[in-house]
Amino acid sequence: MGNFEYNKLSLTSKNEAETQRYGEILGSLLKKGSIVALDGQLGAGKTYFSKGIAKGAGVKDSRVVTSPTFTLINEYIGNVSVFHMDAYRITSVDEMYELGCDEIFSCGAITIIEWAERVKECLPANILNIYISYITISERLIRIFDSANLYREVLQGIRDRPR
Ligand SMILES: Nc1ncnc2c1ncn2[C@@H]1O[C@H](COP(=O)(O)OP(=O)(O)OP(=O)(O)O)[C@@H](O)[C@H]1O
Ligand SMILES: [Mg+2]
């Protein structure tokens, strides 16, 4: 396979349930300390995908997984703690540090950051990037990019998963 790239993976989703299901597959494969940087336009499906990650990480009631647009950060208890941040309203790097991002990133939890691009200066190297974009009103392209090459097994686990 000539230009097959091991650190990239694309998925197409037909509806929000499928987006959530892909998140769930990812969440079930993530190890403690994983950091998922989610980007994509308003309404792309970042929160649906996050719900799935939380479910896959063992958060029993995914109804508790709601957009932290105003609270900036939510914590859920699964097999490990899951921190869910939303940087949409974060206007400065200082605000991110005041929220305790460094402690969160290094505490062995799983962290999800919506609108991660806005706070990229504050993110460590061990992030897994996910970009969600519109194909049509109900279809999405979900691109996963393991820039640091630290999530190889996770990407392989997604490829191996029957759909
Ligand atoms: N394939 C799909 N995957 C995910 N959401 C979809 C899909 N098709 C349609 N939708 C709709 O798009 C919206 C996605 O909402 P969601 O809150 O997950 O987006 P978001 O990226 O988190 O937005 P925000 O930028 O406001 O945080 C929902 O209204 C959902 O019903
Ligand atoms: Mg959202």
**Residue 163 near residue 9 (C-beta atoms within 8 A):** no
pLDDT at position 138, please?
98
Residue ranges per domain, the chain? 23-147
Mind listing the pLDDT tens digit for each residue in 29-74?
A: 999 999 999 999 999 999 999 999 999 999 998 888 889 888 899 9
pLDDT at position 3, please?
57
Q: Where are the alpha helices (DSSP H) in the chain?
A: 16-29, 46-56, 93-98, 101-105, 152-160
**Residue 145 near residue 129 (C-beta atoms within 8 A):** yes
Mean pLDDT in residue range 11-26: 98
Q: Which CATH number fits domain 23-147: 3.40.50.300, 3.40.50.720, 3.40.630.30, 3.40.50.2020?
A: 3.40.50.300
In ligand 1, which atom is closest to the CA atom of 49?
A: 18
Ligand 1, atom 18: closest residue by C-alpha: 45
User: pTM value?
Assistant: 0.96
pLDDT at position 71, please?
84
Ligand 1, atom 28: closest residue by C-alpha: 43
Mean pLDDT in residue range 126-135: 98
Among 25, 9, 27, 47, CA closest to 145: 9
